[in-house]
Structure formats: C-alpha cells, structure tokens
Amino acid sequence: MPSEHNVKKTKKGKIILIIALCAAVVAAAGVFGYFYFPSRSSSYSAYIQSRSTFLPNVSVNGIDLGGMTQDEAWNAVYKRVTEWQNSWSLEVACDGFTYSKLNYAALGIQTDYEALDTMLSKAWSLGHRGGYNEYRQDLESLEKEPYQAYPEQKQGSNEQLDLLLSVIQSNVYRAPIDAVMTGFDPSNTKSPFSFRASAYGQTIDTELAKSEILQMAASGESGRYEIPLKTVAPKTTLSDVEADYTLLSEYYTAIDKHSTEERNANIALVLSKINGKRINSGERFSFNSVVGKRNEQNGFKTAMGYISGELAEVVGGGVCQASTTVYAAALCAGMTIQNRTPHSIPVSYISLGQDATVNDMRGHEIDLVFRNKTPNPVYITCAVETNATGRMECVVRFWGRAQEDGSYFRLDSVIVETLEIPEEVVRQDKEGKYVKYTNQRYKYSSGAEGYVVKTYLQKYMDGEVISSTLISTDTYKARPDIYYVGVTERQ
C-alpha cells in the first residue's frame, strides 16, 4: 500500500503533465492558426497595433491621420490651422494711401476649435468603438468611403473692419457742391445773374468694400485692395439753377427819333424804378405803385403826352411808352393781366391792341396791374438802350423759370373792323393861337380811321404755333380832321 507521500507526489506529477499538455495544445493551435489562417492573424495584429493610432483613410483638414497617435494628429491639424491663419494678408488702400494691413484675426475670422475637436473625436472613434468585429466593420467602411472632415471658420465681429472703413470714409469724403444763383445785378440788364457752378463730391461705398474684402479673405486672395472712390452728384446742377433765371420775354419799342430829351428822360426814369423788381409767385405788380406820382418833385419832366386822345405838354410825357413795353413783356412772360387800358388812339411805337396807357391824375387813375400766378418768382430788368443802328429803344426783359416743355409766347393782333373817318371838326381859336380872322383856317390835326382789334397770346413750340388765346378786343376811335378858325372879322 503506497504511502501518503507517494500519493501526493503522484498527483502533483499528473497536474504538471496536464498543464504541459495544455500548453502544447495551445502552441499547436497557434502554429496551426498561423499556417492555416494567416490573414486573420495579420488583421488581428493590426487591430492590436491600432489601439493607439488612427485607422487608414481618415483625414481632418486635409491631413491624412492614418497611423498617427492622438497627439500627433492634433499637432498636425493645429499646425495646418496656424499656417492657414497666417497665410492671408491684405493691404487696404484708398486714393493712393495705405491705411492698414489685414489678416484673418483682424477680421475676427478663426477656426472653430470646438468643431475641430469634435471632428478629431469622431475620426478617433472609427475603429475604436467596441471590439475586433466593430474594428473590422469600420475598416471595411473606410475602404469604401474614406472619412474626410474640414473645420469651418468661425466668423467673429467685424468691428475692426467697420472702424477702418469708417476712418477711410471720413478721410476721403468730400461733400458735393450745389449750384446756386449768387447775385442779381439789374444794371447789367442783358445778363443780370451770376452763379456758382456745381461740383461733384466723393466718398466710398463702405458696404461694397466690406463685402469685397471678406470675399478676398474667404478665397485666400492676398495682396492689395484699393477701395474705389465713388462720386457723389450734387442735388442741383448749374443747368438746373440757370433754368430758374432764363429770359422769359424781351420786348422792344423804338423811341421816335424826334422824341425830346425830356421825354426820353421820363422813359428812362420810369424804367429805372422798375428795373430789378422781383415779383414772387402770387405777388401783384402795380405800375402806378412802383413808379409813383409823375411830378417834378419825383424827377419827371414836361414832355409831349396824350390827354383825351390828343397830344399835349404834360409832366411825365412818355411814361405810356414804358407802361406799354412792360405790358407786352409781361404777357409774353406768362403774367396774368388784371388791369389794362388801351389808348384811345393808336400809338406809333407798338402794334394795335398791344399798348397800355396809365394815368395818376386823381379821379382819373388808370393803372397797369398784373399778377405772377406761376409757381416761381420772376425778375424784371429794363432800360433805354441804343441798338446797333444807333436808335434808342425802350427795352423790358422778364426772367424766371422756363417752360418745362420749352415753349414761349408771342403777341399777334388782328384788325377785325375798320371805322370810317367822321366829318371834320371846326373849332374857334378864341385865343388867336393859330389864326385870328374868321376867314382863316388852320388844320390842327388830320383825321384817321378807327379800328376794332383782337389781340392773341400765341404759344410757340419749335417755331410752330401750338395754341392761341384771345387776350383783348380793343376799339380805337376814328378821328376827324380838326381845324381852327379865327373869331375876328376882317375890316
């Protein structure tokens, strides 16, 4: 019977033998697997190695991370981001002057590092989630469709760019200059207005410049950006202003070569009182109010004038030629006539139907009145002028806003009826001014036919009449021959 010691020794030997046999089996299995499943063994080895590196076919920000550790991958990606941030710069200039040199940081553009971390984490998770089977699945998927991720740039505040553009704009800005009428000198009756011409201003389009700079930053286009200057047009040009001071009408009446110096002086005095008159929109013009009393205290002289249709020496003789010229010019300037009276007989210095008599005698006042019903003011210049032939003329000009359609006005008078000369009139010359004896006759004035006249204001466009408006119907009485006879019988 074996001893207890021998029994224990026998059991221990059996255990050692079993372990040895197991090891042999495992070794044999390994050798068998190596020779009969070589691809699995290689893949498994790669699996073991990949536990600390990224799988192939994985890239972030254009960098292939396959085989890199997490630290290596982060360093490589971070380096690429830093290179990108320093890869762009742009000189910003305007009007030949360089104001600043921009980079991405100045524009508040930077990589979104949180998003980059997320991409790296996702890239790392491929092949590192679960065990070997999940690894194999991710590996096969990446072979079919590699993982590629690019971080977006985070657009921060543009305050620095906005401030830069604001400074540039304030430096280059030049306000436009509007044209204006700077002076009215009625002594220069033919060209009384002076003007300041308009001028363009300059600025920059800050929104356009900002957009183009950001586009260059997005495309990585470095270099120099010259902000284009932008012209700023004035609100009012010289032609706009001049249109408010154009010649609306110009009327001439020839002064008779036999007109006396006194009569000429009266005409010149009246025109000097009217010259330079501004009539605002809606304002009324009264000839008698502007000219005042025709007396010697006001500088008027005695000259030939009409009284009750007959020529006579009066203080202020010749004033009616001035009033007539003003009337005709006012009509052609588009003024609204409110009061006008024709002479009782035709006058020599203007066509029938276009004259206007005035009188300041108390109880017999006759005024020329018109109103400016246009939307703009009008100006009057007038004077006695000498034409190219040396003939003196009474000249009245109206200035103001031209007709928008370029039209203008002219007067046209038509005799619609002729009145026969009546029988002669014989007057006794009791004072013996012309004749003394009863058998003497002196022809004081010749008779003349009378007329009924219609006057029209015609509107012209490009030299053609486009409308005709009846202004007045005037009657000029026929005049008989007038004789004076003496009152003393011959002895």
Q: Cα(237)–Cα(216) distance, rounded to whole angstroms?
A: 38
Q: Which residue has the tokens 């010149």?
A: 268
Contact yes or no for 176/235 (Cβ under 8 A)? yes
Q: Cα(270)–Cα(299) distance, rounded to whole angstroms?
A: 10
In single-letter form, the type of residue at position 345 comes to: I
Contact yes or no for 132/42 (Cβ under 8 A)? no
CATH of domain 408-491: 2.20.230
Count H helices, E strands: the chain?
A: 11, 27
- Which pLDDT belongs to residue 454? 98
Could you tell me the CA-to-CA distances from 17 to 5, 6, 11 in Å, in that order? Answer: 19, 17, 10
- Which pLDDT belongs to residue 15? 36
- pTM of the model as a whole: 0.69
Contact yes or no for 353/342 (Cβ under 8 A)? yes
Q: Cα(92)–Cα(85) distance, rounded to whole angstroms?
A: 18
Q: In residues, how long is the chain? A: 491
Structure tokens at 266: 């009266």
Residue 92's DSSP bridge partners are: 100, 225
Q: Cα(472)–Cα(476) distance, rounded to whole angstroms?
A: 13
- Which pLDDT belongs to residue 9? 40
Contact yes or no for 204/72 (Cβ under 8 A)? no
Kindly give the confidence (pLDDT) of every residue in the chain, 491 residues in length, as a single tens digit, with 9 standing for 90 and above: 444 434 334 434 443 343 344 334 333 333 333 333 444 567 788 888 888 999 999 999 889 999 999 999 999 998 988 888 788 899 999 999 999 999 888 888 778 888 889 999 999 999 898 889 999 999 999 999 999 998 877 766 788 899 999 999 999 999 999 999 999 999 999 999 999 999 999 999 999 999 999 899 888 899 999 999 999 999 999 999 999 999 999 999 999 999 999 999 999 999 999 999 999 999 999 999 999 999 999 999 999 887 766 677 899 999 999 999 999 999 999 999 999 999 999 999 999 999 999 999 888 899 999 999 999 999 999 999 999 999 999 999 999 998 888 899 999 999 999 999 999 999 999 999 999 999 999 999 899 999 999 999 999 999 999 999 999 999 999 999 999 999 999 87
Alpha helices in 243-363 (DSSP H): 261-274, 287-291, 319-332
Residues of the chain with CATH 2.20.230: 408-491
- Which pLDDT belongs to residue 327? 98
Beta strand 441-445 with 425-428 is: unpaired
